[in-house]
């Protein structure tokens, strides 16, 4: 999806409830995203700030802990919803790292008055790594795209840097 089409969707959404589930991935800078979103509708959910400390040490335990923190936050947001809301999710790489599904967003948060935008930072990694370290470029973006249902597969907006 191009940026101008995305802006149109946001413009229509800010004026009235819009049917359907609205989920997007912004691949670019946080500032580039926030510059055109209506400030009065934006709520920031920084995954680092909502996940309480845990003594979990297994991948599965951490995944479950993150999923529970996301679900609780979304339940609080939806229960206090009194107008349109655009939820911008920061540090979504944690979802990719621990393979957290998008189920809480679909099961708890979506309505005709909500929109979710996952921010995925766009940058180039140019450091040389030792041979035993594997680096996957855009791993977070790839994870989110692969977990999206078909209805949202085209909802990726690439910011030109």
Where in the chain are the domains? 3-158
Q: What is the CATH number of domain 3-158?
A: 3.40.50
pLDDT tens string 49-88: 998 887 778 889 889 999 999 999 999 999 989 899 999 9
Give the H/E segment covering residue 158.
strand 156-158
pTM, two decimals, is 0.90
Report the candidate in 141, 146, 78, 144 with the shortest Cα–Cα distance to residue 107. Answer: 78
- pLDDT of the residue at 130: 63
């Amino acid at each position: 999806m191009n940026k101008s089409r995305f802006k149109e969707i946001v413009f229509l959404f800010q004026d009235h409830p819009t049917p359907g589930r609205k989920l997007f991935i912004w691949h670019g800078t946080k500032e580039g995203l926030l510059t055109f979103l209506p400030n009065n509708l934006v709520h920031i959910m920084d995954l680092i700030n909502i996940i309480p400390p845990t003594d979990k040490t297994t991948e599965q335990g951490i995944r479950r802990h993150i999923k529970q923190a996301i679900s609780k936050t979304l339940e609080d947001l939806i229960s206090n919803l009194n107008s349109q809301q655009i939820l911008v999710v920061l540090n979504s790489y944690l979802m990719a790292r621990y393979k957290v599904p998008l189920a809480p967003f679909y099961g708890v948060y979506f309505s005709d008055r909500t929109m979710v935008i996952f921010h995925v930072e766009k940058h180039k990694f140019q450091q040389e790594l030792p041979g035993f370290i594997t680096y996957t470029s855009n791993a977070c973006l790839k994870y989110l795209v692969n977990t999206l249902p078909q209805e949202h597969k085209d909802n990726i907006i690439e910011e030109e840097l």
